[in-house]
Amino acid sequence: MIAIKSAREIEIMAQAGRILADTLALVASRTEPGVSTADLDAIAETFICRHLGATPSFKGLYDFPATLCTSINNEIVHGIPSPERILREGDVISVDCGVCLEGLHADSAVTLPVGTVSPEARRLLQVTQDALDAGITAAIQGNHVGDVGHAVQRVVERAGYSVVRELVGHGIGTSFHEEPQIPNYGKPRRGPRLMPGMTLAIEPMVNLGLPQIRTLDDKWTVVTADGSLSAHFEHTVVVQPDGPRVLTPAPVSAEA
């Protein structure tokens, strides 16, 4: 069943979303060659827990051991932070994070360049960001889930890239993963109709090469089957009568 959120619930999710956006901005400011993914995880957890009542959504979720998912280069999602994973010049890293406040969650992700990256990598990141923007624009009252996926897919495939099909966005609220599922592909006017008060995590996962994926032996990290680069961007969005509202907007600045 798809849960419709009250005005109070939406505002709590927006508060969680602001903390989350500040967290990702802080992590971005510390992302550079020589930093480990465990360093970034510690920065994020400390920052989130400084906010009264806020906790990391991911830590302990399905037994995940960390605050961040940190996925490098051909890793699509669910990479586990480690002191042994040291960022190198030219890497790209997907940083995915959630914040829980008063029992309500927000979810967001960004893929960051580490130092100077290749033009190919820069274009992949830009196209994935554009695909997210297109998906959000389609998340309007009266549209359907298929309209969101179609908007994402059109941007990605016109650029010559592929969308991951086995992994999807999702509803979010009192549970981190709620109905409906939000694929990054689809046909217009298909799937559940979007109604005011629906809160959605829209998250394009885009591969430079083929769409096929596999999961590593750690049972978490999902990678591209062909070893190609991947990018991942995500926002939590609420459907409103006057258009979608992003609950995890990028902040002007963030301070440690």
pLDDT under 50: residue ranges of the chain: 252-256
Q: What's the residue count for the chain?
A: 256
Tokens of 56: 């990391």
The C-alpha torsion from 31 through 36 and 41 to 46, rounded to 10°, is -80
Distance in angstroms (rounded) separating the CA atoms of residues 158 and 160: 5
CB 235 within 8 Å of CB 202: yes
CA distance to 6, 116, 124, 188, 195, per residue, from 96 (Å): 26, 21, 17, 28, 26
Asked if residue 180 has a cis previous peptide bond (ω within 30° of 0), the answer is yes
Q: For the chain, which domains are there?
A: 7-246 (3.90.230.10)
CB 48 within 8 Å of CB 23: yes
**Predicted pLDDT of residue 254:** 38
**Predicted pLDDT of residue 250:** 84
Burial of 86 (0-12, 13-18, 19+ CB in 10 A): middle
Query: How confident is the model over 32-77, as pLDDT tens digits?
Result: 999 999 999 999 999 999 999 999 999 999 999 999 999 999 999 9
- Average confidence score pLDDT of the chain: 97
Distance in angstroms (rounded) separating the CA atoms of residues 105 and 248: 11
